[in-house]
């Protein structure tokens, strides 16, 4: 009775790993500042700095020892609030931070070609990810800020099939709603062990000739 949307599971796993796929070019803003620290008036081939009329650093462009190009932009209090990064292997991202250095928004593309948007809470924990694969399969995943586990996923497969999956607090699939490529909708419910407990496939009504 149950018709698992395996393609959506794969999409959600990939979406969950989207931000992780950019790990190679992610580090705390303060770490970025520590990578190179020159006098504010220093301009070299490896780093360029922009200061305001008070001599306070407001932007820095550098190439890190790992070969990543990093453009950092600071607010008036010296907090790193936005960064544009391109890694040696090709992954790229734009990152936004709050005044405490917590990442709040990430927009980027992994070196494998998956691109998307991730949103974080005030403690830097991931809340939502919108991701698209190279085959144009797209998915939206919402996470529990306390556990970091996915709680809801919405996706559209390459063939146009949409599906919605809801997870319990342990990240187990408990409810699925989908519409097949043939236009027929369906609902499936599962217990904590993944066993199907109810379902509602919809069949077209047929009439017999009189």
- Model confidence over 177-206: pLDDT tens digits? 989 888 889 898 988 887 888 887 744 444
Q: Which residues neighbour 204 within 8 Å (Cβ) at sequence distance 6 or greater?
A: 184
For residues 15 and 28, membership in a common domain is answered with no
For residues 103 and 34, membership in a common domain is answered with yes
Report the CATH number that the domain containing residue 158 is assigned in CATH: 3.90.930.1
For residue range 87-104, list pLDDT tens digits in order.
988 899 999 999 999 999
For residues 97 and 156, membership in a common domain is answered with no
Beta-carbon count within 10 A of 18 CB: 25
For residues 79 and 11, membership in a common domain is answered with no
For residues 104 and 143, membership in a common domain is answered with no
For residues 79 and 141, membership in a common domain is answered with no
Is position 87 within any domain? yes
Cα distance between residue 166 and residue 41, in whole Å: 54
Q: Which residues neighbour 148 within 8 Å (Cβ) at sequence distance 6 or greater?
A: 125, 126
Is position 126 within any domain? no
Give the Å distances, CA to CA, from 66 to 34, 70, 170: 14, 11, 37
Sign of CA dihedral 134, 138, 144, 147: negative
For residues 14 and 52, membership in a common domain is answered with no
Domain coverage including residue 199: 1-19+134-203
Give the residue among 165, 164, 125, 166 at the shortest CA–CA distance from 147: 125
For residues 100 and 142, membership in a common domain is answered with no
Is position 139 within any domain? yes
For residues 74 and 9, membership in a common domain is answered with no
Is position 95 within any domain? yes
Q: Are 65 and 71 in contact (CB under 8 A)?
A: no
Is position 117 within any domain? no
For residues 31 and 9, membership in a common domain is answered with no
Token pair in block for residue 93: 């991202």
For residues 44 and 13, membership in a common domain is answered with no
Total-model pTM: 0.73
State yes or no: pLDDT of 51 exceeds 80.
Answer: yes
Q: Residue 78: what pLDDT?
A: 92
CA 88 to chain centre: 21
Please give the tally of structural domains in the chain: 2
Give the residue among 9, 17, 21, 16 at the shortest CA–CA distance from 155: 9
Cα distance between residue 210 and residue 199, in whole Å: 33
Token pair in block for residue 96: 């936004």
| pLDDT band for position 80 (cuts 50, 70, 90) | very high
Q: Which burial class, exposed, middle or buried, applies to 155 when counting CB atoms under 10 A from its CB (0-12, 13-18, 19+)? A: buried
Is position 124 within any domain? no
Cα distance between residue 40 and residue 9, in whole Å: 49
| pLDDT band for position 81 (cuts 50, 70, 90) | very high
For residues 91 and 138, membership in a common domain is answered with no
């Amino acid at each position: 009775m149950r018709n698992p949307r395996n393609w959506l599971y794969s999409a959600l796993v990939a979406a969950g790993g989207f931000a992780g796929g950019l790990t190679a070019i992610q580090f705390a803003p303060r770490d970025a500042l520590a990578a190179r620290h020159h006098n504010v008036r220093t301009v070299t081939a490896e780093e360029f700095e922009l200061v305001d009329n008070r001599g306070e650093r407001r932007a820095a462009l550098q190439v890190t020892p790992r070969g990543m190009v990093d453009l950092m932009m600071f607010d008036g209090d010296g907090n790193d609030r936005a960064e544009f990064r391109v890694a040696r292997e090709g992954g790229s991202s734009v990152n936004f931070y709050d005044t405490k250095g917590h990442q709040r928004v990430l927009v980027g593309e992994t070196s494998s070609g998956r691109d998307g948007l991730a949103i974080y809470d005030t403690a830097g924990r991931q809340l939502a990810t919108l991701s698209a694969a190279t085959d144009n399969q797209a998915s939206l995943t919402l996470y529990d800020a306390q556990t970091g586990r996915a709680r809801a996923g919405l996706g559209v497969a390459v063939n146009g099939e949409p599906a919605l999956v809801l997870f319990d607090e342990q990240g187990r699939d408990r409810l699925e709603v989908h519409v097949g490529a043939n236009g027929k909708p369906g609902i499936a419910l599962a217990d904590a062990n993944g066993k199907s407990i109810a379902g509602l496939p919809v069949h077209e009504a047929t009439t017999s000739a009189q």
